[in-house]
């Protein structure tokens, strides 16, 4: 399949990000991959094949985001899709015991990074010809419903929903579509602890089911494959049996 569109995926070296990159390559995208660890990105790109471009960056830092987008446009000439996937969680501790440094790290990775990349994508997508593009944010089901002891992660993911909706609104005059996928328990290293049990709202511990990260990649590729006059504003993709809907 010939490459027709250019995508940038943050947090692309492992887990959900790598699964998204794989699905986009299979859908015919050339994929720029970013993350903080160059060696992890290089290994992922070699595994995935296709037309990839690796540029390490800390997306919580404005100057590194600017350099990232400059490098992507220099390599490919335009940008059709940004997937804001990068993020981190915090230790599950009571809110009054949370270290303020951890709070700032989570906000920088999950929210500030997504904002900085969105800002840079808007600048590029508004100015290129043909004008426009698509942004897809990884919201998590924590964008609507918290786990116990998850204030930093939950707060940033709720904020991602606001960023998604504001970007969808502000992008209308420039043919920029923005949507969000809220993921429930993709099977990655980050969720491996769920096989040993996760703290529930009633104080019990429960093993939670997961889904193959490849399903997340396919869903994102499907969202990305829509024409720009159509947009999936929000999608929730989760393990059918996970304790989320209703009371558990």
% of residues, the chain, pLDDT over 70: 94
- Give me the pLDDT at residue 113, please: 97
Task: Give domain status of residue 227, yes or no.
Answer: yes
pLDDT band at 248 (very low <50, low <70, confident <90, very high): low
Q: Of 5, 157, 165, 218, which is the active-site residue? A: 157
Give the separation between CA 178 and CA 201, rounded to whole angstroms: 32
Computed from CA positions of residues 83, 84, 88, 92, in that sequence, does the dihedral angle turn out positive or negative?
negative
The pair phi, psi for residue 117, each rounded to 5°, is -70, -40
CATH number where 137 lies = 3.40.50.720
**191 assigned to some structural domain:** yes
Which tokens hold the place of 199? 């703290």
Mean pLDDT calculated for residue range 69-79: 97
Q: Average per-residue pLDDT in the chain?
A: 92
Three-state DSSP class for 204? coil
Between these two residues, 96 and 194, which has the higher pLDDT value? Answer: 96
pLDDT-derived band at 112, boundaries 50, 70, 90: very high
Radius of gyration (C-alpha) of the chain in whole angstroms = 17
Nearest to 80 by CA among 129, 47, 36, 114: 129
Question: How confident is the model at residue 191, as a pLDDT?
Answer: 60
Is 126 known to be catalytic?
Answer: no
User: Which residue spans within the chain are E strands per DSSP?
Assistant: 5-10, 29-34, 52-54, 81-84, 133-138, 176-184, 186-187, 198-199, 205-206, 211-212, 234-238
pLDDT of residue 1: 40
73: in domain:
yes
User: β-strands 5-10, 81-84: how paired?
Assistant: parallel
pLDDT at 124 over 70: yes
In the prediction, which pLDDT does 2 show?
A: 45
Q: Is residue 243 part of a domain?
A: no
Closest CA to 20 of 185, 230, 213: 213
Mean pLDDT of 76-89: 95
**Is 83's pLDDT higher than 70?**
yes
Residue 246 covered by a domain: no
**Angle value at C-alpha 219, between 47 and 174, nearest 5 degrees:** 105
pLDDT value for 201: 75
Residue 178, both tokens: 């923005």
Residue 31 reports pLDDT greater than 80: yes
84 close to 60: Cβ distance less than 8 angstroms? no
Name the phi and psi angles at 127, rounded to 5.
-90, -15
> What total number of domains does the chain contain?
1
Active site residue 153: yes
Cis? peptide before 189, omega within 30° of 0: no
User: What is the tens place of the pLDDT at every residue in 157-182?
Assistant: 999 999 999 999 999 999 999 999 99
Extended beta strands in 64-111, E state = 81-84
Domain annotation covers residue 230: yes
Q: Assess if residue 247 is contained within a domain.
A: no
- 187-233 residue pLDDT tens: 766 666 666 777 777 778 877 788 899 999 999 999 999 999 999 99
Structural domain range at position 126: 5-238
The tens digit of pLDDT for each residue in 33-52 reads 999 999 999 999 999 999 99
Is the pLDDT score of 76 beyond 70? Answer: yes
| Per annotation, catalytic residue among 18, 153, 165, 218 | 153
């Amino acid at each position: 399949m010939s490459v027709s569109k250019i995508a940038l995926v943050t947090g692309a070296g492992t887990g959900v990000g790598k699964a998204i990159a794989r699905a986009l390559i299979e859908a015919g995208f050339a994929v720029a991959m970013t993350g903080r660890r160059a060696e992890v990105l290089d290994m992922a790109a070699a595994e995935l094949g296709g037309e990839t471009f690796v540029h390490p960056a800390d997306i919580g830092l404005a100057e590194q985001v600017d350099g990232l987008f400059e490098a992507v446009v220099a390599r490919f000439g335009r940008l059709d899709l940004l997937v804001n996937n990068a993020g981190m969680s915090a230790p599950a501790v009571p809110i009054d015991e949370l270290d303020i440094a951890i709070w700032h790290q989570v906000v920088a990775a999950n929210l500030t990074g997504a904002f900085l990349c969105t800002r840079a994508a808007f600048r590029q997508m508004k100015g290129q010809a043909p004008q426009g593009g698509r942004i897809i944010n990884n919201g998590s089901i924590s964008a609507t419903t918290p786990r116990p002891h998850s204030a930093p992660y939950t707060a940033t993911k709720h904020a991602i929903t606001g960023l998604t909706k504001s970007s969808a609104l502000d992008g209308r005059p420039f043919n920029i579509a923005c949507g969000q996928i809220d993921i429930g328990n993709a099977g990655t290293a980050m969720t491996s602890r769920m096989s040993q049990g996760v703290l529930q709202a009633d104080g019990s511990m429960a093993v939670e089911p997961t889904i193959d990260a490849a399903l997340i990649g396919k869903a994102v590729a499907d969202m990305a494959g829509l024409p720009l006059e159509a947009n999936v504003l929000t999608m929730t993709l989760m393990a059918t049996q996970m304790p989320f809907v209703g009371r558990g």
